[in-house]
Amino acid sequence: TQLLEQSPQFLSIQEGENLTVYCNSSSVFSSLQWYRQEPGEGPVLLVTVVTGGEVKKLKRLTFQFGDARKDSSLHITAAQPGDTGLYLCAGVSNTGFQKLVFGTGTRLLVSP
Amino acid sequence: KAGVTQTPRYLIKTRGQQVTLSCSPISGHRSVSWYQQTPGQGLQFLFEYFSETQRNKGNFPGRFSGRQFSNSRSEMNVSTLELGDSALYLCASSPREGYGYTFGSGTRLTVV
């Protein structure tokens, strides 16, 4: 069974602080996606990383895929209240047809 | 362009009843997947359909079933409902493998 562990589970910070969320697994994934989910809504795709070692930047968000394609990280610079939400990593199974294995989630609260 | 539409948004059912949830994917998206989200288990994969064929199934009992129609719309059915089936059921569509998913807002099912 493929599992993705995220840390930390909860993060409460002040506006302007930096933070990093980690997503780790013992399994290899063909690619990894990051989503953000707000209460009462479905997850919204932020980025897909495909190549081991890949780094992608989306404004203040930086995503990295581990060299072995087993782990990933999300770094937010100068967090804003609008960044508040549940952050989910999701690995695309290496075993065949498209199936997402979701991480355990990181709930972020950014206070003004 | 219209997003993924799930109906109904909220549903209250009694133990032992059955329920059918509907999902209309983004036009042109042929892959439709279903996920169950609960506070304790997070997001868990139910099944994935592509061109009316179920290509992948998660570890859920046979009470959970689904289908996809020729227009890519999908339904999932849960029979003999149990209290533990209370969850947010999310549908997601994707144009093809390797692409990120677009999620609907979900159907919140409460079993009493």
Contact A42 B55 (CB under 8 A): no
Convert the pLDDT of each residue in A52-82 to its tens digit. 999 999 999 999 999 999 999 999 999 999 9
Cβ within 8 Å, pair B48-A98: yes
Q: For residue B62, give both structure tokens.
A: 């046979």
pLDDT at res. A100: 86
Q: Identify the band that residue A97 occupies on the pLDDT scale cut at 50, 70 and 90.
A: low
The fold adopted by the segment(s) A5-111 is Immunoglobulin-like (2.60.40)
Nearest to A1 by CA among A74, A105, A91: A91
Q: Specify the 3-state DSSP secondary structure of A81.
A: helix
Supply the pLDDT for residue A93. Answer: 75
Pairing of strands A85-92, B64-68: unpaired
Q: Which of A33, A97, A101 is the closest to B100 by Cβ?
A: A33
CB contact under 8 A, A97 and B50: yes
Domain ranges of chain A: 5-111
| pLDDT tens-digit map of B1-45 | 679 999 999 999 999 999 999 999 999 999 999 999 999 889 999
Nearest to A90 by CA among B39, B75, B45, B15: B45
Rounded mean pLDDT of A2-20? 94
